[in-house]
Amino acid sequence: MKLIKNIQSTAKKVLEEEANAILKIVHLIDSEFENCVNHLLNLQGRLVVTGIGKSAIIAQKIVATLNSTGTPSLFMHAADAIHGDLGMIQSGDTVMCISRSGDTPEIKVLVPLIKRTNVKLIAMVSNPSSYLGKNADFLLHALAEKEADPLNLAPTTSTTVALALGDALAVCLLEYRGFSSKDFAKYHPGGALGKKLYLKVSDIYPNHELPIVNENSTVKESILEISSKRLGATAVLTENQELAGIITDGDVRRMLNKYDSFAGLFAKDIMTVTPKAISPDAYAVEALQIMQEKNITQLVVVEDNKPLGFVHLHDLLKEGLV
């Protein structure tokens, strides 16, 4: 039990130290950061992000975030840069170099080479007085006074701070570009996240044949229509082929509880007159929200008061929205 307590206290200490380090850099966001954002907003080329060791891994994550939020970016490993990859830097680009110390041998070799390409250099560094900090055009102060490990050696706090500062940079660029959910969907077409942003009701309901009866159809005909189309409901139409209501499995059960015989009953006698409906242009996630709020499993899709089809909860489950 004592060992478990020690494990928990160590974990909490690490999280507290890293959280406190992030809070400290909040006060370091200044006009220099703002100038850097404004430069990137007007950038004609790409943002090339580089680093070595664990900083290189953080650089890759920042590149992924920037690309997905509208800032064209690419990753260049600092070690590979001096062996040919420097050629990926083009006129109009800007390079951002991530380093805690800013004084590693690789950085000291790389910085002059970057400067020769006549592109702007952004330093994300803990020590502004370092070689990298002094030679940069823009400075992002990623202060990390101490790593979270007891030896103060393993990149922990410093990488967390750099990652958070990269997120702050990406969100500022996203916000001031007016980046919308539609833009986000364009870059995230896969998975449940993408589908929530782009999948519409019109992409789903045509997969099913529309179950329909008219107001004067018998209850038996209505039940057979529900059963044959396997959506748990049928639309009920007026003489003008407009939506009069729907009959669901629940309506049928309520009818059986209310009447001893349904021989003389018609669709109009048991239908729900004002069913929950949705437009074909609505997003599928809106259909899901309505179903969850109303505790129902299907929605009739309506346009100009004419039923087009149904979207069922099972469809949304199949698409991974739930």
Domain membership of residue 184 (yes or no) is no
> Looking at residue 185, what is its pLDDT?
58
- The answer to whether residues 197 and 181 touch, using CB atoms and an 8 Å cutoff, is yes
- pLDDT tens per residue across span 133-165: 999 999 999 999 999 988 888 999 999 999 999
d(CA 101, CA 143): 10
Same domain as 168, residue 24: yes
Same domain as 279, residue 245: yes
> Looking at residue 85, what is its pLDDT?
86
pLDDT mean for each 10 residues of the chain (322 residues): 72 95 96 96 94 95 91 92 86 95 92 93 96 96 93 93 97 86 60 64 92 94 93 94 94 90 90 93 90 92 95 86 66
Residue 161, both tokens: 């701070």
Q: For residue 286, what is the domain's CATH number?
A: 3.10.580.10
Domain membership of residue 190 (yes or no) is no
Same domain as 252, residue 168: no
Count: domains in the chain: 2
Considering 145, 179, 213, which residue would you say is the last residue of a domain? 179
How many CB atoms are closer than 10 A to CB 185?
A: 17
Q: What domain range includes position 266?
A: 201-318
The pTM of this model reads 0.66
Same domain as 238, residue 106: no
- pLDDT tens per residue across span 99-112: 999 999 999 999 99
> Looking at residue 68, what is its pLDDT?
84
Q: Check the annotation: does 77 bind a ligand.
A: yes
d(CA 184, CA 282): 18
Same domain as 270, residue 216: yes
Triad 203, 204, 208: Cα angle to 5°? 130
Give, for 74, the enclosing helix (H) or strand (E).
Answer: strand 73-77
Q: For residue 9, what is the domain's CATH number?
A: 3.40.50.10490
Domain membership of residue 279 (yes or no) is yes
Domain membership of residue 237 (yes or no) is yes
Same domain as 170, residue 43: yes
d(CA 259, CA 198): 45
Backbone angles phi, psi at 88, to 5 degrees: -75, -15
